[in-house]
Structure 1
Amino acid sequence: MKLSIIVLMTINTLTSVAFGQTRYIKTIEGSIVDTSTYAKLKAEKVEKIKSIMQTKDIKITIKDNFKEIRRTPDSLIYSYNWDIKIGDSKVKEEDKSFEPEDYLNKEFPLPTFTTFDNRTIGINSLKGKPTLINFWFTTCKPCIEEMPVLNGIKTQLKDSVNFIAITFEPTEKARAFLKNRKFNFIQIANAKKFTDSINMFSFPVNIFLDKNGIVIKIESGIPYIFDDKKRMKMGDGKEFLAALRELL
């Protein structure tokens, strides 16, 4: 049902701009298709993601980023890329949702937490260095898949950046999970009150803070990419690495 709504919104958006000109989309493979075919391609992508994740029990949201590349008197052609957000359907999603616009260019309202290694961390203790805060949970497949990439970013930047991971789940559950998974961020668990307070019900989310604790950038997960055979796989995180280096 959500997929149908997303596709319908896409078609409506493309057909309502510059009325009178037919819209076409240039696909990743380079072919030009109409909006109806594009909607079908998008629906197929959702099903392909589900098959890769080996479960139907997930929520998938695809945001279109269109760019006009050609205009004639009777047609418009767009290229596109997708922001794909994958969440676990077991996580309750309320009427309200996390809105990045509410936090960008403001100090992030991080309360004081005790980390796994008994350190006390709050927004003031993070100031002086850029910070990446990752929100995750133990059964979130894209959260798990991006962990090795995030570890690699931390290895490259070392102590020049604060790397914080926060989960709403109980500390015992997170600790047990991390015994078998390497995730080298400073770990904070049992943060449900906080994640609920900011309406964060879809994961992963990555928040970039500057040296003053100001939110500069908010992303979902590390972007998925396509290999030579057009199969989707986790990206290398170069966008995240570049964004953090700009904050140093």
Structure 2
Amino acid sequence: MSKSEVVESIKAVTVGSKDMSNNLIINVLAKHNEYAIYEIETDDINNRLKVLIDGHTDEAELKIQSRFNIVKQKYIEAKGMLSKSSNFEMMKHRIAHTLSSCLNSDDTDGKKEFSELISTITREHEELVINRTLYLSPVFISTIFLFALMYCNIDLRIENTPLWQLTTISLATTLGSGISIFITAKTLNFEDFKTKKYYFMLGVERIFLSFMAGAIAFIAIRSGILTPKFISESYWSYMFIMVIAGFSESFIPRFLSKSESTMHNK
């Protein structure tokens, strides 16, 4: 049989077709005459990569299978870490390329290659966790500090002093901002900057923006420009407005735009 011929079962592995287990093939990552590495449609990321080995002869198939068995555990370990990878598309191709090199030759040190790949995925995941923590730390610190300050000055609640008002407004704004930050953090890319301090600065920037929004909302209420129906003299109603101001980044810009339009129309 010619060396260049592809086994029929391997030839059948194409995008849009189904494999022997009736899984829909959505991507072919590597294909050789006697093996194919492909991706199936499934919600389980760890189970998306599949390998099909079918040699021209039993001897040829056994040889490729033996190469696969040497790196099988490392390959499975690497697949299991795909869900932790920040760049799934790139990593799945690297896994497929590494496995393909191992199946093609006995000279490739597959265990070493996969160990380095696993180390890379682990290191990138750790960096993402650190960057995310740095981004979230300003809101953590602000919330704990303001809670402590509020607790230490609880006696001022009855007199409703300026210090108490400032503390409660700041805490409410931080709580609203914190919810917004936690929600949006899921969609952010924590690989944009190589310097970690930038993520902390972004978190500080977001907190500062929420304080500005809370201050503008408070001024608007005290001036009478913003008068929600549920507002009262109770600091609880003020706090609720501050939570909304801290949570919604578009609340204050919309309000300022509307106020500017009203002033121009007079």
The higher relative CO (CA closer than 8 Å, separation ≥ 6) is in 1
Bigger strand share: 1
TM-score, normalized by the shorter chain, greater than 0.5: no
Question: TM-score scaled by structure 1?
Answer: 0.24
Bigger helix share: 2
